[in-house]
Structure 1
């Protein structure tokens, strides 16, 4: 697989990255509608049309993330990715590869688990979606941002330019 360029991703790759980041933060930070719906269903209480609409927004955003992930993965496989900065330690390069593929796995597995719970009533899927998968996603996001800051401020690789 050939790299896109030595310095950056393609415009579609950048657009998908930031659009997915926005949608992921939207669903992580504003999951109240889905959580409220889940509490009502779990308790056997009546669910209103407004409750369903609110939960649907979370579900539809999750489905959009899944679809965008597939497009993004195809672009990654077809267009490639830029080379890692030359002065990046080998262990950091390996960690970056593992983290990026973990992101792709989560971008697919989390929506599928959410679909399993919301549309098919699978409690295990729901527990995974709102528990360990959500925690792992938050952890990866924090590590990802920290790694970008290390590149920018410590190694001075200007890595952020590749995705902006």
Structure 2
């Protein structure tokens, strides 16, 4: 049961948000270790110790993202979240809600499909992970960042403040 929404996110919610963001950007920007492992496995059926270690770093970051998102969703249920700014147009409130839950869904689907490919050899899951979900995640993350910046500099709301300094 969520409590009454506060004016800002709690410190644990903010820390989890930024840890998740850091790991997401790490895995989006530096997938080379997993890519090298994948190429080697497809070409030769084996990978070097260095390739396995690099792929493991990518996989462990994905698992950490999944755990952090689960904790974030639990905290969201327990602590609630701040209400949307009152001056925000209804259409933008809807877009924010849809993109927020799309982002959560992607942050669950990405590690699950990645793990299915890496640990269980499900090639279709790997293709979905690397070719489709990754592109959608880039778009949704971009919209998320643009939305936060629009709130800060166009509407001059406290949305960005609530997730940074509280």
TM-score where L is the length of structure 1: 0.96
Which string of whole-angstrom CA distances, capped at 9 and with x for unpartnered residues, describes residues 33-62 of structure 1?
Answer: 000000001112541111100100000010
Residue 9 of structure 1 corresponds to which residue in structure 2?
9
Please, what is the CA RMSD of the aligned residues?
1.0
1:149 positional shift: 1.2
**Is 2:50 the partner of 1:50?**
yes
Structure 1 unaligned spans of 5+: none
Equivalent residue pairs, number:
163
Q: In the TM superposition, what are the counterparts of 1:11-50 in structure 2 within 5 Å? A: 11-44=11-44, 46-50=46-50
Q: 2: CA distance between counterparts of 1:57 and 1:100?
A: 27
Following TM superposition, the consecutive aligned residue runs of length 4 or more in structure 1 with deviations greater than 6 angstroms are: none
Deviation at 1:26, TM superposition (A): 0.6
| Distance across 2 between alignment mates of 1:3 and 1:23 | 30
1:80 is displaced (CA, Å) by 0.8
List runs of 5+ in structure 2 lacking aligned partners: none
8 Å CA contact retained: 1:3, 1:83: no
Q: Which residue of 2 aligns with 1:97?
A: 97
With normalisation by structure 2, the TM-score equals 0.95
Shift of 1:103: 1.0
The superposition leaves residues 47-106 of structure 1 with CA deviations (integer Å, 9 ceiling, x where unpaired) of 111110010000001001001110001011111110000000111111111111111111
1:3 Cα deviation after fit: 3.8
